[in-house]
Amino acid sequence: MTKQNMTFIKTRAYGPAEGLIPNTGPIPEPGCGEVLIQVSAAGVNRPDVLQRTGNYPPPPGASDVLGLEVAGTIVAVGEAVSDWQIGDQVCALVASGGYAEYCIAPAPQCLPVPKNFSMVEAAGLPETFFTVWTNVFERGKLQKGETVLIHGGSSGIGTTAIQLAHVFGARVFTTVGTDAKCVFCEHLGAEKAINYREKNFVAEVKSLTGGQGVDLILDMVGGPYIEKNMDALAMEGRLVQIAFLQESRVSVDFLPIMVKRLTLTGSTLRPRTVEQKGSIAKALREKVWPLLDAGTVKPIIHATFPLEQAADAHRLMESSTHIGKIILEVKP
Ligand SMILES: NC(=O)c1ccc[n+]([C@@H]2O[C@H](COP(=O)([O-])OP(=O)(O)OC[C@H]3O[C@@H](n4cnc5c(N)ncnc54)[C@H](OP(=O)(O)O)[C@@H]3O)[C@@H](O)[C@H]2O)c1
């Protein structure tokens, strides 16, 4: 490679989106077990917004360049990488560094770009598919024929969770903030989308399940939802918490956990080891990539922005008017 420097996006100071500015610096070199990807597109995720505002620091050792997922072409491989070669087109989950022309990824966290996918579509896969797979199917143990309530159905995470839960045979309910989002999520595979600004989701899911409640809830909201979620769960129900868009500290009556034999769990993806992420990648490749190759499941791309306009992409995400993914495109 003759090029030495690259453009990347860092936040100048924790705070508003204006602080996201293009910088120039050296192209990183892949270490043992890593590959260097020439990035064509990078996904924007809500955790990036939290990082920008100083509420989600990168894990120790990770760079402070924003970005948790990319798609592009491998241009260099480190030692001990046998699965990938220069020229392979991949998408990858990364702990940081995605908003850049070049990005280092651990080899086990790369997956092939699915058949007939553009790089923009492929860049919208890793963060939500890894998160949904490990939380809904591994931790939440969703089974065919069960009922699931997905909060934030129009989010990148929500649009992925609705499609995967539906295609694996669950009855899917979701909550969203507008009627237009309800219509969209019902097209995606939700049996019923509930506008939480107008309806009580607990009463709605109870009525939809003959009074039983749902087997699984995927929640990113927290706050007052925590107690309501326990109310909305069926006997032996599971609550999987993946974020707290509202408070994480609440006063809650824990009695339903005992009476209904509930399981409360949750996880964050970013601090998990390369080995753990590699194991999620393996499961995705076996169980989900054939669905992407066949076009049965697709990421929902709401908008794209040039890399240099990352600040506009963050403003759109903070408006919460989007449905699905926001992607940054990198000029070749
Ligand atoms: N644990 C993990 O490993 C992990 C990994 C990735 C992401 N996450 C989390 O998953 C969530 C979704 O991520 P994403 O990138 O898919 O986000 P996103 O596309 O920005 O979507 C978030 C959506 O949540 C809805 N929402 C509901 N209550 C809200 C509130 N109080 N404040 C703001 N929005 C609210 C909004 O739509 P409506 O209000 O219109 O419904 C909004 O569009 C984020 O909280 C993120 O931090 C967790």
Give, as one character, the DSSP assignment of residue 28: P
Smallest CA-to-CA distance from 68 within 47, 82, 54, 85 is with: 47
How remote is the CA of residue 245 from the centroid of ligand 1, in Å? 7
The torsion of the CA quartet 85, 87, 88, 91, rounded to 10 degrees, works out to 120
How remote is the CA of residue 46 from the centroid of ligand 1, in Å? 6
Smallest CA-to-CA distance from 87 within 98, 95, 77 is with: 77
Q: Whole-angstrom Cα distance, residue 101 to residue 121?
A: 17
Q: Whole-angstrom Cα distance, residue 323 to residue 146?
A: 25
Q: Angle of helix 201-208 relative to helix 225-232, nearest 10 degrees?
A: 10
Ligand 1 contacts CB of residue 127 (under 6 A): yes
- 116-121: Cβ within 8 A, 24+ apart: 116/295, 117/292, 119/40, 119/41, 119/71, 119/72, 119/89, 120/40, 120/41, 120/71, 120/301, 120/304, 120/327, 120/329, 121/298, 121/299, 121/301
Nearest CA owner, ligand 1 atom 27: 152
* Same domain for 106 and 32: yes
* Same domain for 142 and 114: no
Ligand 1 contacts CB of residue 55 (under 6 A): no
Q: Whole-angstrom Cα distance, residue 295 to residue 290?
A: 9
How far are the Cα atoms of 39, 62, 148 from residue 277, in angstroms, in the given order? 20, 15, 24
Q: What is the pLDDT of residue 61?
A: 87
Ligand 1 contacts CB of residue 268 (under 6 A): yes
* Same domain for 207 and 112: no
* Same domain for 193 and 69: no
CB-neighbour burial class of residue 284 (10 A; exposed 0-12, middle 13-18, buried 19+): buried
Nearest CA owner, ligand 1 atom 44: 46
* Same domain for 140 and 96: no
Contact (CB, 8 A) for 326 and 305: yes
Number of domains in the chain: 2
Q: Indicate the residue among 221, 248, 266 that finishes a domain.
A: 266
CA angle 326, 55, 57 (to 5 degrees): 90
Q: Whole-angstrom Cα distance, residue 161 to residue 218?
A: 9
Q: Indicate the residue among 238, 266, 294 that finishes a domain.
A: 266
Q: Indicate the residue among 244, 266, 288 that finishes a domain.
A: 266
What lies within 8 Å, CB to CB, of 187 at 6+ separation is: none
How remote is the CA of residue 158 from the centroid of ligand 1, in Å? 8
Q: Whole-angstrom Cα distance, residue 313 to residue 309?
A: 7
Ligand 1 contacts CB of residue 243 (under 6 A): yes
Residue 260: domain span = 129-266
Pocket test for ligand 1, best of 157, 277, 315 (most atoms within 8 A of CB): 157
Q: What is the pLDDT of residue 145?
A: 98
Ligand 1 contacts CB of residue 292 (under 6 A): no
How remote is the CA of residue 155 from the centroid of ligand 1, in Å? 6
DSSP H/E element including 163: helix 156-167
Ligand 1 contacts CB of residue 248 (under 6 A): no
Nearest CA owner, ligand 1 atom 22: 155
* Same domain for 288 and 225: no
DSSP H/E element including 174: strand 171-176
Ligand 1 contacts CB of residue 45 (under 6 A): yes
Pocket test for ligand 1, best of 220, 246, 300 (most atoms within 8 A of CB): 220
* Same domain for 233 and 137: yes
* Same domain for 241 and 302: no
| Residue 210, phi-psi category: left (phi > 0), alpha (psi -120 to 50), beta (remainder) | left
CATH of the domain at 172: 3.40.50.720
Which pairing describes strands 214-219 and 233-241: parallel, antiparallel, or unpaired? parallel
Q: Whole-angstrom Cα distance, residue 239 to residue 200?
A: 18
Taking 50 as the pLDDT cut, the residues of the chain under it are none
Q: Whole-angstrom Cα distance, residue 88 to residue 49?
A: 30
Which atom belonging to ligand 1 lies closest to the Cα atom of 267?
A: 1
* Same domain for 80 and 52: yes
CATH of the domain at 78: 3.90.180.10
* Same domain for 279 and 247: no
* Same domain for 135 and 106: no
* Same domain for 209 and 104: no
Which atom belonging to ligand 1 lies closest to the Cα atom of 324?
A: 19
How remote is the CA of residue 220 from the centroid of ligand 1, in Å? 6
Which atom belonging to ligand 1 lies closest to the Cα atom of 153?
A: 41
Q: What is the pLDDT of residue 1?
A: 67
Q: Whole-angstrom Cα distance, residue 270 to residue 288?
A: 21
What lies within 8 Å, CB to CB, of 118 at 6+ separation is: none
Ligand 1 contacts CB of residue 320 (under 6 A): yes
